[in-house]
């Protein structure tokens, strides 16, 4: 398969649904479609495509960015962070509607109101049956409420960026690490991008699930059509938040966070397994949950804030000065350790090896970064195969049923594992006596 356009990326399952290819395409030949397994992949209209290959040039799915990887592999990742802080939005409405401490939204509100930017590009969850993640361009700070909380599904955030930049002089972008990689690569085709996007607020990102995870959760909650989902509804169940499902007649059904966690490995986007950049090394400011930090409000939540650039620092200092956020300093290394970055690097290396073992092509630039061990490769191969399988069920119903039985098996294994671990412990004790 030749590398001429993004079909190569999609066919080899390297697409992470960032939308950069569509932003690069001057012919508007690219649109996004959901696959039966819930991947959101770009398709080219060959009636208008002029085979310029720009979509492939800007694709972070196939191009690893060396500087990003260097921050994890060449030094301690803490070195790439200027400052770590924890805190919350001071406005109660923004705070209680936020995913963690509402800091992302308080910052967006502040920069819109002070005219630092004309608009912000972020993500929402549609009110539609079935609900799906969607890009939102917001110019009025009063509209930010609908963008709050995390959407753990694909959002091709950058898809219409070129059009947005025609209408707005400057835009701040909130996004996952892969969105930031797409932005970085888009500089090749949008030369004044750096001036037009004066602020990148990144989220820490472990992974996302395919859009069909929404339908599976909806099915656990109700037989009625579902019009909205909140993955972590902190306002209803307390921090960190259980999933809430809204049926079309307005009924709200709460699930348990454990339901969402249990199904993660089944629905994980396969390309996320090859992603190292959990800590969003390409952003000016990075926000996440303050795992591993002492003295944090664990009842209503707080936001971890990592400052990565000069312009990021200025925005934070201004917002603190304006009184819209309240932050206190915390240890950078504790913040990094709380996100298990060392383990992420080990897993990522093992996934690269396992991917190669499955005869799948690696992203460009990955060949010399992979490890050379073979430890536990089977587990990594199984996880990759699970992601690859998602599009091969006969129907969506069959896939959702497969998710049910996958979960049953997993639970059974866990239950069986308890006596087994007990016996192993006893044997070990006897041996030591
Ligand atoms: C997919 C995903 C994975 C995450 N994984 C981790 C993790 O492993 N560890 C951790 O500490 N934190 C993680 N986070 C970040 C965390 O969940 C919160 O988003 C963060 O703490 C900010 O909270 P807040 O209250 O300040 O933001 P809020 O005020 O609630 O604002 C959230 C902002 O994020 C934007 N947003 C939400 N989902 C997306 C999306 N899919 N793509 C682009 N923008 C989006 C919203 O539009 C909004 O602007 C993840 C977030 C996401 C979306
Ligand atoms: S090859 Fe060029 S014209 Fe065709 S889809 Fe890609 S960017 Fe658009
Ligand atoms: S640019 Fe983004 S959306 Fe387009 S093919 Fe590459 S990874 Fe997928
Ligand atoms: S894990 Fe990486 S590829 Fe997956 S959504 Fe997060 S940033 Fe994107």
Tens-of-pLDDT digits for all 433 residues of the chain?
678 899 999 999 999 999 999 999 999 999 999 999 999 999 999 999 999 999 999 999 999 999 999 999 999 999 999 999 999 999 999 999 999 999 999 999 999 999 999 999 999 999 999 999 999 999 999 999 999 999 999 999 999 999 999 999 999 999 999 999 999 999 999 989 999 999 999 999 999 999 999 999 999 999 999 999 999 999 999 999 999 999 999 999 999 999 889 999 999 999 999 999 999 999 999 999 999 999 999 999 999 999 999 999 999 999 999 999 999 999 999 999 999 999 999 999 999 999 999 999 999 999 877 666 666 689 999 999 999 999 999 999 999 999 999 989 888 887 776 666 677 777 777 776 6
| Pairing relationship of beta strands 285-288 and 199-203 according to DSSP bridges | parallel
Using a 6 Å cutoff on CB, does residue 204 contact ligand 1? yes
Atom of ligand 4 nearest to the CA of 269: 4
Residue nearest to atom 8 of ligand 3 (CA): 15
Residue 76 CB partners (closer than 8 Å, separation 6+): 333, 336
pLDDT at 372: 63
What is the SS3 assignment for 374-394? CCCHHHHHHHHHHHHHHHHCC
Residue nearest to atom 8 of ligand 2 (CA): 25
Going from the Cα of 380 to the center of ligand 1, the distance in angstroms, rounded, reads 26
In 3D space, the residue among 19, 26, 17, 21 whose CA is nearest the CA of residue 49 turns out to be: 26
Residue 216 CB partners (closer than 8 Å, separation 6+): 263, 267, 400, 403
Q: Looking at the CA of 20, which ligand is closest?
A: 3
Going from the Cα of 169 to the center of ligand 4, the distance in angstroms, rounded, reads 28
Going from the Cα of 224 to the center of ligand 1, the distance in angstroms, rounded, reads 28
This prediction's pTM: 0.95
Q: Candidates 81, 105, 136, 150: which one to mutate for ligand 1, based on the most atoms within 8 Å of Cβ?
A: 150
Using a 6 Å cutoff on CB, does residue 176 contact ligand 1? yes
Going from the Cα of 297 to the center of ligand 3, the distance in angstroms, rounded, reads 38
Residue-wise over 36-57: b if at least 16 C-beta within 10 A, else e? bbbbbbbebeeeeeeebebbbb
Using a 6 Å cutoff on CB, does residue 91 contact ligand 1? no
Residues 138, 147 contacting (CB under 8 angstroms): yes
Pocket-forming residues, ligand 4, beta carbon under 6 Å:
16, 176-178, 205, 207-208, 269, 271-272, 275
Using a 6 Å cutoff on CB, does residue 239 contact ligand 1? no
pLDDT at 418: 66
Sign of CA dihedral 368, 371, 376, 379: negative
Going from the Cα of 31 to the center of ligand 1, the distance in angstroms, rounded, reads 25
**DSSP labels for 134-157?**
EEEEE-SGGGGGGG-S---S---T
Helix (H) or strand (E) holding 397: helix 396-432
What does the block give as tokens for 358?
């499955």
Atom of ligand 4 nearest to the CA of 154: 5
pLDDT at 119: 98
| Measured CA distances, 232 to 149, 178, 217, 235 (Å) | 7, 22, 12, 9
Using a 6 Å cutoff on CB, does residue 251 contact ligand 2? no
In 3D space, the residue among 219, 19, 263 whose CA is nearest the CA of residue 130 turns out to be: 219
In 3D space, the residue among 133, 139, 162 whose CA is nearest the CA of residue 25 turns out to be: 162
What does the block give as tokens for 263?
């199904």
Residue 251 CB partners (closer than 8 Å, separation 6+): 222, 224
Using a 6 Å cutoff on CB, does residue 334 contact ligand 2? no
Q: Looking at the CA of 335, which ligand is closest?
A: 1
Using a 6 Å cutoff on CB, does residue 182 contact ligand 3? yes
């Amino acid at each position: 398969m030749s590398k001429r356009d993004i079909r190569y990326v999609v066919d080899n399952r390297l697409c992470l649904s960032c939308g950069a290819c569509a932003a690069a395409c001057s012919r508007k030949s690219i649109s996004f479609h959901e696959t039966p397994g819930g991947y959101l992949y770009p398709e080219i209209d060959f009636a208008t495509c002029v085979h310029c290959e720009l979509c492939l040039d800007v694709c972070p799915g196939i191009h690893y960015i060396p500087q990003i990887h260097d921050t994890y592999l060449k030094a301690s990742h803490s070195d790439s962070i200027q400052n770590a802080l924890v805190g919350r939005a001071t406005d109660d409405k923004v705070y209680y509607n936020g995913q963690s401490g509402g800091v992302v939204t308080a910052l967006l509100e502040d920069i819109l109101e002070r005219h630092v930017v004309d608009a912000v590009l972020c993500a929402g969850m549609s009110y539609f049956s079935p609900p799906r993640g969607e890009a939102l361009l917001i110019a009025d700070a009063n509209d930010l409420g609908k963008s709050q909380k995390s959407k753990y599904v694909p959002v091709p955030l950058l898809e219409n960026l070129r059009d947005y930049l025609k209408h707005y002089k400057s835009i701040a972008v909130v996004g996952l690490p892969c969105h930031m990689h797409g932005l970085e690569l888009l500089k090749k085709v949008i030369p004044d991008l750096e001036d037009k996007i004066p602020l990148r607020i990144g989220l820490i990102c472990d992974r996302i699930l395919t859009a069909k995870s929404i339908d599976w959760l909806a099915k656990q909650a109700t037989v009625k059509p579902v019009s909205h989902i909140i993955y972590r509804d902190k306002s209803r169940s307390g921090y960190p938040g259980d999933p809430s499902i809204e049926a079309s007649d307005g009924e709200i059904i709460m699930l348990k966070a454990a339901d969402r966690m249990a199904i993660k490995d089944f629905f994980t986007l396969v390309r996320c397994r090859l992603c190292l950049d959990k800590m969003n090394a390409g952003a000016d400011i990075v926000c996440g949950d303050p795992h591993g930090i002492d003295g944090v409000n664990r009842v209503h939540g707080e936001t971890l804030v990592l400052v990565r650039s000069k312009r990021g620092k200025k925005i934070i200092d201004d917002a603190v000065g304006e009184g819209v956020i309240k932050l206190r300093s915390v240890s950078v290394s504790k913040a990094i350790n709380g996100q298990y970055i060392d383990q992420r690097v080990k897993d990522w290396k093992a996934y690269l090896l396992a991917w190669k073992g499955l005869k799948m092509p690696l992203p460009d630039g990955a060949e010399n970064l992979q490890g050379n061990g073979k430890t536990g490769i089977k587990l990594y191969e199984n996880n990759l195969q699970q992601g690859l399988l998602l599009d091969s069920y006969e129907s969506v119903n069959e896939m959702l049923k497969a998710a049910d039985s996958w979960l049953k098996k997993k639970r059974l294994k866990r239950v069986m594992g308890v006596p087994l671990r007990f016996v192993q412990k006893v044997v070990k004790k006897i041996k030591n006596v």
